[in-house]
Structure formats: C-alpha cells, structure tokens
Amino acid sequence: MIEVVTLLTKEVVANFTRYNLSRSKWTIIICSVLLLGLAILLLSLGGDIILSIVAIALSFIIPVLFIWLNYLMTNMLYKNSFLQEEQAYMKFLFNQDNFEFENNIGGLITTSVLIYQNILKCIETKDFFYLYINKNYAYIVDKNGFRNGNVLELSELLKFNCKKYKRVVKN
C-alpha cells in the first residue's frame, strides 16, 4: 500500500490552476495569431480599418486576459474556501485495485474509494500527480507527501491501472 498526504496550500492550488489553464495555451495562441492574420488581411485588402484595429487589439488582449485569469482564479479559489482557515489536506491510500482518499477541508472529513477505471487520465508533473475524474477536476497527489512507498512505485501503479497516463516532467 502506498500512502501520500497532500497539504492543500495556496501554492498547491496555484500549481494545479496553472497547469490546468496551460492545457489551453495553444488554443489561445492560435486564436491570437488568427485574429492578427485577419487584421493584416483586412488592412492589405483595404478593408474596414476599425475592424482591423479591433482584431489587432484582441490578438494582444486575449493572451493578457489568459495570464490574468490564471492569477485571478488561484486567488479566488483560495480566498473563498476553507483552505486558508485550517490545514486542509487529502490523504491517499493506493492499493492494487483501487485507492482510498480522505479529505479534510474546513474540519469536514470525508472519505471515499475509487477504482482506477474512474480516472479519465493521470498526469505526472515535476511535483505532483493529477488524477482527473472529469475534464476540470483532479485529485492532487503531492510527490513530497509520501508516508509509505515512493514516487516510482506510484508512477508504475498508475501507468498500469489508468487508461491514459502522461508524464510531463522535464528533468
């Protein structure tokens, strides 16, 4: 059995939010480039100058909004939750067929058991494993929180049991 505890600090929430938003970065870049291309095309064909200026402005505003959204979401999530009031944590017990987890957020302790087939995908980053159960919600497993077992054992267990496993660690 592998046991891991993740303390839900502001930094942990920020790392997850940053990673989750970064998955959309190529969409943002492509939209910005297309808008800029549209503006250049309109200008070169003698099109509407106002529309071209709006497209150029949007091509620069969209990436700035994306970066600002990351900052805003992290602060809002942390400020409007019980995470800052008490030491919130998630404790995981990984077995061969399933994993158990215990949440302690705001003094409310909940426990549950999940089978690995309920995980849509597992992402391994430098400091965390993100176990997605839907498109935007994931369990955060801190690589520094091992009480029993180690990173390599958990990595191998998740690779074997999860439908989709991706390692985005840059060494």
* pLDDT exceeds 90 at position 142: yes
Rounded to whole angstroms, how far apart are CA atoms 88 and 90?
7
Q: Last residue of a domain, which of 79, 110, 125?
A: 79
Per the confidence metrics, is the pTM higher than 0.85? Answer: no
The two tokens of residue 4 are: 């891991």
Domain match, 44 and 70 both: yes
Residues 55 and 90 in one domain: no
Number of domains into which the chain is organized = 2
Q: Which amino acid is at 60?
A: F
Domain containing 136: what range? 2-8+85-167
Q: Does residue 146 register a pLDDT over 90?
A: yes
We report the CATH number of the domain holding residue 160 as: 2.30.29
For residue 171, the model assigns a pLDDT of 43
Instruction: Give yes or no for residue 152 having a pLDDT over 60.
Output: yes
